[in-house]
Structure 1
Amino acid sequence: MAAVFCFRNVIFGGACKFKSANFLLFRNLEQKQVRGCASYVGKQRSEYDYDLVVIGGGSGGLAAAKEAAANLGAKVAVLDYVTPTPIGTKWGLGGTCVNVGCIPKKLMHQAALLGEAIHDAKSYGWQVGDNVSHSWENLKDAVQAHIKSVNWVTRVELRDKKVEYINGLGTFKDQHTISVTTNKGDRLLTAKYVLIAVGGRPRYPDIPGAVEYGITSDDIFSLNRPPGKTVIVGAGYIGLECAGFLNGLGYDATVMIRSIPLRGFDQQMANIVVAEMQDKGIKFLHRCLPKSVEKLDSGRLKVTWTDSDKNEFNDEFDTVMFAIGRRALTKELHLENAGVEVAGDGEKIDAVDEQSNVPNIYAVGDVLYKKPELTPVAIHAGRLLARRLFGDSAVTMNYENVATTVFTPLEYGAVGISEETAVQRYGEDNVEIYHAYYKPTEFFIPQKNISHCYLKVVAKRDGDQKVLGMHYIGPQAGEVIQGFSAAIKCNLTVKDLMNTVGIHPTIAEEFTRINVTKRSGKDPNPASCCS
């Protein structure tokens, strides 16, 4: 065992950067050594202050920290510090998802759905007054109260699981040493392993007035005034989701699209989502770029933009929100002091099984290059990493076939690859696309628009037709697609789908009744609810 320790110290103590096959060989051997003597390592802590220091208090970092400390006996510290936004917004422990992402987004989406349901209720016999109104302040306060309760529970949980929480900004001094800046002063921590889990923050465009007068998703959920007439610059999932709930809450919403909506998603589905949002009254400015934001004497914001033909336009808004992408917070870490390399984008870490080019430094979550930027992905990867470092595990994260949902007014759920990717990867002649429009039963009585309720299955054309992707637009998309994502993990085929008996009447059963291919040219519209 002493020989093992000596070998590991040679690997971690030098400045060498292992590359290609040699690096992978040493990395795999090192992980096997750690797994083989996990209980022994847990008792030898004289060389470093901590077995693991996690930089970043978001979902992935917290998952790894709790797994390592509570279940595997490691000595762990978590560093978390939130730099305020340009307008001064900051938040507590828990990262983007809890504070300015998934959780507040879903709550505001739900508020918008409830508003729609109130109007639908009249058709079902409920006596609902005509003067239905909504209070932004009450919603904002309720959402923020819930977030603060989660912040508190998270801190208590770390204490109970014996994870040391440090509200400080961590940067690298070398590959084993972290410099921490807190309101009580600076300190140095040494760690056997370091996990980078700092996530990212929204970008601002380089135009006059953007930073001074604009906001991002970091601000919208705690905005201390009603947003009023709003323009959202950017048509990724964050931009479309925010436009959707703002419109649902009664605010005028406009989306400015530079190129295409929902880049990276199936584009047929993305365009259906946009069409549905337009039908609900959301305005879209296609192939336009903002030029400037100017604050008027009235307090309103004058936005000037140009289209693809260089024509210039302007309008006045109460709120300008930028949703043009996010940057990984790696530059603030002084990675160069530890020798950690970033990918070609200059920001993200191109890790192998979450391990950077420096063998004792790992990364999870949104800082990883070309990996899904999703909370459950970070959580699962963090837990598996902790088990490999401190437990007897060799299980690595599988980043393929991860399901996700875009919480637009009519939700879009997807798992697997898009139609475009399938055709590019396998060739058009080797891919079969099944598709169907459908009629949600709950849409009948209020006579809601069903023209955009659509789903498709992307499959290989040969044999039993292995399913490569499933895409669904309609109510409860997340709940529908979650179960099918497990089936895809188990190598679901079209034959399996067709031999599955659906639950009637549900919207999820539509996948089990799918039988029309695009290739056939047949009408994908159902004749009745039971056809």
Structure 2
Amino acid sequence: MPPVENTAVVEEPRKYDYDLIVVGGGSGGLAASKRAADLGAKVAVFDFVKPTPIGTTWGLGGTCVNVGCVPKKLMHHGALLKQHINDAKSYGWKVGEKETHVWGELVEKVQNHIGSQNFGFRVSLREKSVQYHNAYATFVDQHTVNAVDKRGREKTYTSENFIIAVGMRPNYPDIPGAKEYAITSDDIFSLGYAPGKTVVVGASYISLECGGFLKGLGFDVTIMVRSILLRGFDQECAERVGDYMKEEGIEFMRGFVPTKITQIEPGTPPKLKIEAKNTKTGEMVEIECNTVLFAIGRTACTESLNLEKIGVQVNPKTAKIVVSEAEQSSVENIYAIGDVIEGKLELTPVAIQAGQLLANRLFGNSATLMDYVNVPTTVFTPLEYGCCGYSEEEAREKFGKDNIDVFHNLFQPLEWVVSEKPGACYAKLVCKIDDNRIVGYHVVAPNAGEMTQGFALALRLGAKKEDFDALNGIHPTNAEVFTMLDITKSSGKELVASGCGGGA
């Protein structure tokens, strides 16, 4: 009897250990790794958190989950509850004359939630057969990384493709006492004691958000600002955010930079002294406080990856990786996503979507690229600021100052009427004159994030001003103001806040 022919397909051995190695376990890296695994790729994730100068560290999930969006939003909500308690009194609720806040209880709840998410990420990677390595990976060549774990053990791994998604970490100024006595947003959400009187240094959204919720939780807050608020955002809206925060009792020191921090007394919290200088007048001031929080920008975590050795182009000023529109670096098999790439938005949902789209292109025969323009975002300050598309300044620069008009108005939320809350909210649509298309949406109001998410779809689909005008408003809501904006900046007409979200 003739022998039976073996028709089984023999797979060729893999040339590399993995089809894809993702360096960085934040939101973008996790999204890319799981999508690649779904598409049949053999994937590994390397993630290692270097402690902050005061020793803070965290688990899998990156900045957003551990020391960014998630704990920030929870503490922001905790601060808003104090406003709601005050409002409740105007609505007939009988509450205690003096409410107290226990910092430690909030921190514990926040950290418990973060811990559950850290665990959930590890489980989801395991379910997707993505190998997770709690180790610091650096490049040996374009297909090899050397990984060192927390015990100092080293091992090399190879991969056909790499995605760098290491994110960014906060900057410290080069002044005496900065790293010894100050903290950053990497520390505040797990701080083991109430921060007390706090000086927040910086004018970024991180600075204003942290200063905002700390004030709302009952702490004395001063924000030290070198120049403008919320650089890169619409400046008219940025100043309205700042004005509202001043009404809430936050002190702004405009034009000052810190020069030295010293500890007067140790403790939890300690007693500190921060010295500062006015950049225009040279005036020197000293402030005694308990906590100094730096929010003066962030630097991409690329310095120790050996990228120069393998030819990956990095902007020396920002430490960010230069990539193509397809997130490809100067080395063809090495890609980058998220905060670490040059010239793109530093937002968690952007990193997630970019990572998923990149995995689709690498392993799913897709050609779809990430849209980095029509991206909604919100600054979670005491009065939130939501936006999508171009700021007024950017639109005038890109499309021509004579080709832009702005429809805007002030409005008073109906909920503020009974509590007689001072101030006003603001709505703005930036419109191209030649085709009437809306290229910028901006709102400074409670729940701005929820409003912005829906309206962002209109911008993405190319909505025109007449589309907004034809939309029926939901009355009485804040969002309905965008269906009836009829005052243009070019008209010079004075803005007067109307009630009921801009309605009758």
TM tier, shorter chain?
A: over 0.9
Distance of aligned partners of 1:285 and 1:143 in 2 relative to their CA distance in 1, 3 Å threshold: same
TM-aligned CA deviation for residue 309 of structure 1: 0.8
Residue 122 of structure 1 is matched in structure 2 by 89
Distance of aligned partners of 1:346 and 1:129 in 2 relative to their CA distance in 1, 3 Å threshold: closer
Residue 374 of structure 1 is matched in structure 2 by 347
Residue 478 of structure 1 is matched in structure 2 by 449
Q: Deviations over 1:144-199 (max 9, x none)?
A: 00000000011001000110000000000000001000135110000000110000
| 2:489 match: secondary structure | coil
Residue 3 of structure 2 is matched in structure 1 by none
Q: After TM superposition, list the pairs within 5 Å mapping 1:411-490 onto structure 2.
A: 411-451=384-424, 453-463=425-435, 465-490=436-461
The reply to whether residue 189 of structure 1 matches residue 161 of structure 2 is no
Q: Deviations over 1:385-427 (max 9, x none)?
A: 0010011211111111211100000000000111111222223
> What's the RMSD between the two structures over aligned residues?
1.2
Cα distance between partner residues in 1 of 2:456 and 2:285? 44
Question: Aligned partner of 1:66: which letter?
Answer: K
Kept in 1, the 8 Å contact 2:414–2:499? The answer is no
TM-aligned CA deviation for residue 527 of structure 1: 4.8
Cα distance between partner residues in 2 of 1:346 and 1:358? 19
Kept in 1, the 8 Å contact 2:61–2:118? The answer is yes
Q: 1:386 aligns with which of 343, 349, 359?
A: 359
Residue 109 of structure 2 is matched in structure 1 by 142
Structure 1 length as normaliser, TM-score?
0.90
Q: State how many pairs are aligned.
A: 487
Q: 1:306 aligns with which of 259, 270, 277?
A: 277
Kept in 1, the 8 Å contact 2:265–2:272? The answer is no
Residue 280 of structure 1 is matched in structure 2 by 248
The reply to whether residue 105 of structure 1 matches residue 79 of structure 2 is no
Residue 465 of structure 2 is matched in structure 1 by 494
Distance of aligned partners of 1:527 and 1:388 in 2 relative to their CA distance in 1, 3 Å threshold: closer
| 1:120 match: secondary structure | helix
Cα distance between partner residues in 1 of 2:215 and 2:361? 46
| 2:276 match: secondary structure | strand
| 1:444 match: secondary structure | helix
Deviates more, 1:219-228 or 1:291-300: 291-300
Unaligned ranges ≥5, structure 1: 1-39
Unaligned ranges ≥5, structure 2: 1-8
Residue 328 of structure 1 is matched in structure 2 by 300
Cα distance between partner residues in 2 of 1:366 and 1:469? 23
Q: After TM superposition, list the pairs within 5 Å mapping 1:182-331 onto structure 2.
A: 182-183=149-150, 185-297=153-265, 299-307=270-278, 308-331=280-303
Cα distance between partner residues in 1 of 2:498 and 2:342? 46
TM-aligned CA deviation for residue 240 of structure 1: 0.2
Structure 2 length as normaliser, TM-score?
0.95
Question: Aligned partner of 2:180: which letter?
Answer: E
TM-aligned CA deviation for residue 211 of structure 1: 0.5
Cα distance between partner residues in 2 of 1:528 and 1:309? 43
Query: Percent same amino acid among aligned pairs?
Result: 53
Distance of aligned partners of 1:142 and 1:422 in 2 relative to their CA distance in 1, 3 Å threshold: same
Q: After TM superposition, list the pairs within 5 Å mapping 1:56-95 onto structure 2.
A: 56-69=24-37, 71-95=38-62
Cα distance between partner residues in 2 of 1:526 and 1:217? 35
TM-aligned CA deviation for residue 520 of structure 1: 1.1
Distance of aligned partners of 1:367 and 1:44 in 2 relative to their CA distance in 1, 3 Å threshold: farther
Residue 6 of structure 2 is matched in structure 1 by none
Kept in 2, the 8 Å contact 1:229–1:251? The answer is yes
Residue 98 of structure 2 is matched in structure 1 by 131
Cα distance between partner residues in 1 of 2:492 and 2:178? 48
Residue 523 of structure 1 is matched in structure 2 by 494
Cα distance between partner residues in 2 of 1:382 and 1:489? 20
TM-aligned CA deviation for residue 126 of structure 1: 1.2
Q: 2:143 aligns with which of 176, 199, 219?
A: 176
Deviates more, 1:424-433 or 1:360-369: 424-433
Q: After TM superposition, list the pairs within 5 Å mapping 1:340-351 onto structure 2.
A: 340-345=312-317, 347-351=319-323
| 2:304 match: secondary structure | helix
Kept in 2, the 8 Å contact 1:433–1:459? The answer is yes
